[in-house]
């Protein structure tokens, strides 16, 4: 079956997953990328796709808004049996939904939950306007999508409530081999926490800072590294100045450098107020790191089991974060065993596992309703 996949940009984990899908005998895929790098992304190094793909010419309008007038002609030339769209809130995606519906080509929306909470820089300031436009953009999936492929339990519940189309789970998968290859041994040193991601309010950096301050003032033995950049960098620098023996800042890292940083740490801390998925979670688990994360993260809700491979805590609670970090800092001997369980969990999210599920769902979506 000929499958057109339309997505924003070639993020490494997505390129790995799509590469595995392209090797499935039943899947003749062609991926249409709408841009090379979306607004606000810092990555300079990218994994080159090794599967059939097209970078559709892009006309920038404003920051995250851009137009791709060449997409529909390219789709018509490809003549897909199935179209898969990676999001709904994009002009080209909307045009494709209407075009495919009128052309009677079955299409699937493969998506995280609708609406990004706690956005640092929302495109529109008016919440009322954003809600109105979201309802308008979600009209085609509600009426005409053949299926919804939801990324996380929250997305599945949300779309099941808004549409009668079948709603299946298909999370993000990737090549985790470089993380699984990291060697872990029991240790006697103080626990080395890592906080990875944008240094922003949405990522809960203020909550981490508060928990770290409490741990340091309680004379708990630990260190923490902040890997990333963002609007709360100055707050993290203040924290480092107050506790230079415990706090360090690694700054922004290219994707190829991440595994090396994870190898030097024991526990990932990522208390996001919201994350549709959060690729750092399966990567850290694959690296043998217990994960402290919130139930507002799709990946954490699916993968983290408190006391088994980490701690799943309530979002917005710095106290819950403090208690989880304190429990691990006081019992470092448990971290190695939790890391083994973490790796067992991560192996269920390899690119090969996901590719087989993708192929099965695509075959089902191509069948007449």
40: number of Cβ within 10 Å: 11
Supply the pLDDT for residue 185: 83
Q: What average pLDDT does range 99-110 have in this prediction?
A: 97
**pLDDT tens-digit readout, 50-101:** 999 999 998 888 767 889 999 999 999 999 999 999 999 889 999 999 999 9
State how far the Cα of 331 lies from the Cα of 343, in Å rounded to an integer.
20
Local structure of 238: helix, strand or coil: helix
Supply the pLDDT for residue 132: 86
CA nearest neighbour of 204 among 156, 267, 273, 252: 273
Residue 119 pLDDT more than 60?
A: no
Residue carrying the six token digits 């491979």:
309
Is 298:194 a contact under the CB 8 Å cutoff? Answer: no
State how far the Cα of 15 lies from the Cα of 13, in Å rounded to an integer.
5
Supply the pLDDT for residue 278: 93
State how far the Cα of 243 lies from the Cα of 252, in Å rounded to an integer.
21
Residue carrying the six token digits 């810092």:
42
Is 68:58 a contact under the CB 8 Å cutoff? Answer: yes
Supply the pLDDT for residue 121: 61
Residue 114 pLDDT more than 90?
A: no
State how far the Cα of 159 lies from the Cα of 182, in Å rounded to an integer.
38
Residue intervals in the chain for CATH 3.40.50.2000:
2-175+350-366, 178-348
CATH topology of domain 178-348: Rossmann fold (3.40.50)
| Mean pLDDT taken over the chain | 93
pLDDT band at 328 (very low <50, low <70, confident <90, very high): very high
DSSP notation for 280-341: HHHHHHHTT--EEEETTBHHHHHH--BTTTEEEE-TT-HHHHHHHHHHHHH-THHHHHHHHH
State how far the Cα of 177 lies from the Cα of 312, in Å rounded to an integer.
25
Q: Which residues contact 20 (CB under 8 A, 6 or more apart)?
A: 173, 175, 351, 352, 354, 355
Supply the pLDDT for residue 122: 63
Q: Can you read off the two tokens belonging to residue 85?
A: 């769209």
**pLDDT tens-digit readout, 233-257:** 999 999 999 999 999 999 999 988 9
pLDDT band at 229 (very low <50, low <70, confident <90, very high): very high
Is 130:122 a contact under the CB 8 Å cutoff? Answer: yes
Supply the pLDDT for residue 369: 76
Local structure of 22: helix, strand or coil: helix
- Assigned CATH class of 2-175+350-366: alpha beta
pLDDT band at 41 (very low <50, low <70, confident <90, very high): low
Supply the pLDDT for residue 44: 62
pLDDT band at 42 (very low <50, low <70, confident <90, very high): low
Percent over 90 (pLDDT), the chain: 81
Q: What average pLDDT does range 270-295 have in this prediction?
A: 96
pLDDT band at 304 (very low <50, low <70, confident <90, very high): very high
Supply the pLDDT for residue 116: 66
Residue 117 pLDDT more than 80?
A: no
Residue 216 pLDDT more than 80?
A: yes
Strands 59-62 and 65-67, sheet pairing: antiparallel
164: number of Cβ within 10 Å: 9
Q: 326, exposed or middle or buried, with CB in 10 Å at 0-12, 13-18, 19+? A: middle
Residue carrying the six token digits 């299409």:
107
Supply the pLDDT for residue 123: 64
CA nearest neighbour of 353 among 216, 185, 177: 177
How many C-alpha atoms does 184 have within 13 Å on its Cβ side? 26
**Least confident piece of the model among 43-52, 96-105, 145-154, 307-316:** 43-52
**pLDDT tens-digit readout, 120-154:** 566 667 778 888 888 999 999 999 999 999 999 98
State how far the Cα of 193 lies from the Cα of 224, in Å rounded to an integer.
4
Supply the pLDDT for residue 269: 99
Supply the pLDDT for residue 47: 81
Q: Higher confidence at residue 60 or residue 21?
A: 21
């Amino acid at each position: 079956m000929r499958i057109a996949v339309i997505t924003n940009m070639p993020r490494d984990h997505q390129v790995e997953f799509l590469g595995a899908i392209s090797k499935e005998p039943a899947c003749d895929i062609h991926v249409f990328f709408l841009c090379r790098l979306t607004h606000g992304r810092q990555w300079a190094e990218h994994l080159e796709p090794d599967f059939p793909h097209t970078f559709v010419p892009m006309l920038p309008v404003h920051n995250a808004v851009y137009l791709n007038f060449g997409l529909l002609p390219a789709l018509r030339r490809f003549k897909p049996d199935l179209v898969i769209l990676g999001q709904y809130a994009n002009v080209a995606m909307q045009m494709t939904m209407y075009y495919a519906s009128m052309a009677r080509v079955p299409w699937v929306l493969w998506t995280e939950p609708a609406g990004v909470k706690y956005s640092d820089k929302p495109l529109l300031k008016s919440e009322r306007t954003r809600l109105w436009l979201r309802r308008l953009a979600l009209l085609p999936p509600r009426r005409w999508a053949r299926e919804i492929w939801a990324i996380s339990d929250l997305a599945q519940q949300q779309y099941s409530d808004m549409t009668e189309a079948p709603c299946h789970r298909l999370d993000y998968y990737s090549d985790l081999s470089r993380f699984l290859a990291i060697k872990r041994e029991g240790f006697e040193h103080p626990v080395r926490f890592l906080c990875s991601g944008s240094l922003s309010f949405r990522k809960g950096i203020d909550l981490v800072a508060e928990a770290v301050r409490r741990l340091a003032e309680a004379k708990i033995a630990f260190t923490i590294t902040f890997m990333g950049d963002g609007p709360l960098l100055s707050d993290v620098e203040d924290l480092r100045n107050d506790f230079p023996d415990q706090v360090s800042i690694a700054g922004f890292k290219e994707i190829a450098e991440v595994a090396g940083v994870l190898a030097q740490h024991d526990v990932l801390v990522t208390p996001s107020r919201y994350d549709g998925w959060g690729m750092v979670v399966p990567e850290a688990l694959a690296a043998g790191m217990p994960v402290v994360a919130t139930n507002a993260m799709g990946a954490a809700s699916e993968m983290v089991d408190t006391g088994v491979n980490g701690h799943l805590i309530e979002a917005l609670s710095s106290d819950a974060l403090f208690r989880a970090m304190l429990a691990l800092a006081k019992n470092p001997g448990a971290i190695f065993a939790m890391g083994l369980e973490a790796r067992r969990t991560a192996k269920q999210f390899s690119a090969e596992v996901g590719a087989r599920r993708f192929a099965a769902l695509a075959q089902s979506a191509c069948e007449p309703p």
